[in-house]
A = this chain, B = another copy of it.
Amino acid sequence: MTRARPYDRDIALDAALNLFWQKGYHATSLKDLEGVLCMKPGSIYAAFKSKEGLYLSALERYFHRNRDGLRALAARGGSPLGALADHLRGFGRQQAEVSGHRACMLVKTLLDVTEQDAVIGARARGYLDEMTAEIVAIFDAARAAGELPEGADPARLARRYQADMTALRIEAHRGGDPEALRLLAEDIAQSLEQVRPH
């Protein structure tokens, strides 16, 4: 290499991720990105090829972060079902720290994207499917640990959990009473724990 990169790809991607997450794909302009990336349009294009390319890179980063978080949760040992319930309750306890950063970016992408941005939409769907698979694996572990009754279907439970988590995060994005959010998370967590054989 003849010259060190004057910008840090990770830092730039994080900045782009946060901005895209907050404003969405269509409402974010290259001018906005220039600002938070501290890069001129030529550099952005050289590094990420296009606005769409940058979005895809940011989305991939987001996905990996979430997937790794879920894996860390599962690798914690102890009760898989308990880990999922804790995760729900933890999310319910969060205060609204940064605006526009609560709902899942994959879901936001799914809803924001049209037929013109088919590539982005397909990628978001793929990542969501991978997340589903991760959750299925956790329910499989729960079954192995004897936390599920005989006839329980891990895939079905996983889809329910993912839907619940999506709803919880959208409710968080909506704002409103923090205590109501906590109660919602508690209700969902209790539903989850009810599947345990008694």
Where the two chains meet, the residues of A that have a C-beta atom closer than 8 Å to any C-beta of B are: 22-24, 26-27, 99-100, 103, 107-108, 110-112, 114-116, 125, 128, 155-156, 159-160, 163-164, 166-168, 170-171, 173-175, 180, 183-184, 187-188, 191
Closest chain-B Cβ to A104's Cβ sits at a distance in Å of: 10
Closest chain-B Cβ to A19's Cβ sits at a distance in Å of: 10
Interface centre among A155, A174, A180, A187 (most CB of B within 10 A): A174
Distance of A196 Cα from B45 Cα, bound (Å): 59
B174, A128: Cβ atoms closer than 8 Å: yes
Closest chain-B Cβ to A188's Cβ sits at a distance in Å of: 8
What B residues does A160 contact at CB under 8 A?
184, 187-188
Nearest opposing residue in chain B for A165, CB measure? B167
A163, B168: Cβ atoms closer than 8 Å: yes
Nearest opposing residue in chain B for A129, CB measure? B176
Nearest opposing residue in chain B for A156, CB measure? B183
How many chain copies does the complex carry? Answer: 2
The binding surface of chain A is classed by DSSP as helix
Instruction: Decide yes or no: A184 and B163 within 8 Å by CB, A26-B27, A27-B112, A108-B111 being known contacts.
Output: yes
What B residues does A167 contact at CB under 8 A?
163-164, 166-167, 170
What B residues does A107 contact at CB under 8 A?
111, 170
A114, B100: Cβ atoms closer than 8 Å: yes
B173, A163: Cβ atoms closer than 8 Å: no
Top 10 closest A-B pairs, CB basis? A167-B167, A26-B26, A163-B167, A26-B27, A108-B111, A23-B114, A160-B187, A27-B114, A166-B167, A163-B171
Distance of A175 Cα from B180 Cα, bound (Å): 30
Instruction: Decide yes or no: A24 and B111 within 8 Å by CB, A168-B163, A174-B125 being known contacts.
Output: yes
Nearest opposing residue in chain B for A187, CB measure? B160
Closest chain-B Cβ to A17's Cβ sits at a distance in Å of: 16
A111, B159: Cβ atoms closer than 8 Å: no
